[in-house]
Amino acid sequence: MLIIFKGSHPYRLSMRRWLASLVILFLIPLALPFSHAEFVENSLTIIVSTNGITNVIEKINTRTTVSSIKIPSISNKISNILATDEKNTILSATQNGNLIKIDTLGASRVTLKYNANILEKTLGIWNLVYSGHIPSAIILPPTSDIVSVNNIPIDIKDGTVTMPAGDVSLSYIVRTVSTNNFIASWNNSNYPVKIITASKVGNFGFVQNSKTISLTVDNNAPMLVIISKSLLGGPYNVQLNDHQIEFKEYYQNSTHSWLRIDPPSSGSIKIIGTSTIIPEFPIALLVMLIALTLTVTFYRIKPIKI
């Protein structure tokens, strides 16, 4: 029992009520930020396209009792503003400098989208400059390589760079499409395999017994693989990290097949065929078997009497 004295009269509270009061007192400060704020910015995503257009997507929680909110934009050079609520209803949104006013009209969740002119290209290097009030996720174009950043990123994964809140300056380059020529060797014979992509291709290999070409790519850039049918014939099966993915065999002639592969991410790719002209045993063994067959056939032939 807890005894609280008020004047000369004691008031008794049960331990359970006292603990409940303590929990409420602890939770009140945690609830104050959203109860007093008109909105809470949950996420900020910046998608950079290959042609230099930057799309911004921000997720916001709002108070249903508030009729309008003002969201800080990452730049005053923005266009194509679109705001929708949790029912995908379009909300009125207007820009005033670095602020975007949204008439929320009782919405509890708002999705804000707009284009931002925050990208410039100098001597082949793209420079992205903006200011984020919360941590932001930057999705760079495929085949991008980061040159520099002004702050240490929170995370870098699969072409997405997560930067802390504040001023952000990030520079990157986009790799051009290149032709990679590989050689699959088997029993002193060479079979060329051509791969055209903007990805970095590595760890090329060919396993004759499993009829498999293997390689690795560092991003999800499309790739064109030209394979000699003498090395590996179809129909084909393509896997990424041991999971089957879709591809398109859009052309073939009597000697080669052209495969278009769009990997959804970086990883290890396997191209598995169903036929191959390359024998599964050495040529020397094949010659010995032929010679043995001819010998047996010769001795089975009866001599002709003259």
pLDDT of 281 over the 60 cut: no
Strands 136-139 and 39-48: parallel
Structure confidence at residue 104 (pLDDT): 94
**pLDDT per position as a tens digit, 221-267:** 889 999 988 888 888 999 999 999 999 887 888 889 999 999 998 99
pLDDT of 143 over the 90 cut: no
Whether the Cβ atoms of residue 199 and residue 218 lie closer than 8 Å to each other: yes
Structure confidence at residue 142 (pLDDT): 82
How far apart CA 251 and CA 229 sit, in angstroms, is: 13
Specify the pTM.
0.62
Could you tell me the residue ranges of all domains in the chain?
A: 39-174, 178-272
Pick from 45-54, 118-127, 268-277, 278-287: least confident: 278-287
pLDDT of 303 over the 90 cut: no
Q: Two tokens at 42?
A: 């949950």
Residue with tokens 């040159």: 147
Instruction: Tell me which fold the domain 39-174 belongs to.
Output: Immunoglobulin-like (2.60.40)
Question: Which whole number is the average pLDDT over 209-224?
Answer: 90
Q: What angle do CA 193, 194, 198 make, to 5 degrees?
A: 140
Structure confidence at residue 299 (pLDDT): 47
pLDDT of 3 over the 50 cut: no
- Decide: residue 275, CB within 10 A, 0-12 exposed, 13-18 middle, 19+ buried: exposed
HEC string of the chain? CEEEEECCEEEEECHHHHHHHHHHHHHHHHHHHHHHCCEEEEEEEEEECCCCCEEEEEEEEECCCCCCEEEECCCCCEEEEEEEECCCCEECEEEECCEEEECCCCCCEEEEEEEECCEEEECCEEEEEEEECCCEEEECCCCEEEEEECCCCCEEECCEEEECCEEEEEEEEECCCEEEEEEEEECCEEEEEEEEECCCEEEEEEECCCCEEEEEECCCCCEEEEEECCCCECCCEEEECCEECCEEEEEECCCEEEEEECCCCCEEEEEECCECCCCCCCHHHHHHHHHHHHHHHHHHCCCCCC
> pLDDT band at residue 127, thresholds of 50, 70 and 90?
very high
How far apart CA 73 and CA 38 sit, in angstroms, is: 16
Question: Which whole number is the average pLDDT over 113-124?
Answer: 93
Structure confidence at residue 1 (pLDDT): 42
Structure confidence at residue 93 (pLDDT): 96
**pLDDT per position as a tens digit, 48-80:** 998 889 999 999 999 999 999 999 999 999 999
Structure confidence at residue 31 (pLDDT): 44
> pLDDT band at residue 296, thresholds of 50, 70 and 90?
very low
> pLDDT band at residue 175, thresholds of 50, 70 and 90?
confident
Question: Which whole number is the average pLDDT over 156-179?
Answer: 91
Structure confidence at residue 293 (pLDDT): 53
> pLDDT band at residue 215, thresholds of 50, 70 and 90?
very high
Whether the Cβ atoms of residue 178 and residue 223 lie closer than 8 Å to each other: no
pLDDT of 205 over the 80 cut: yes
Structure confidence at residue 278 (pLDDT): 52
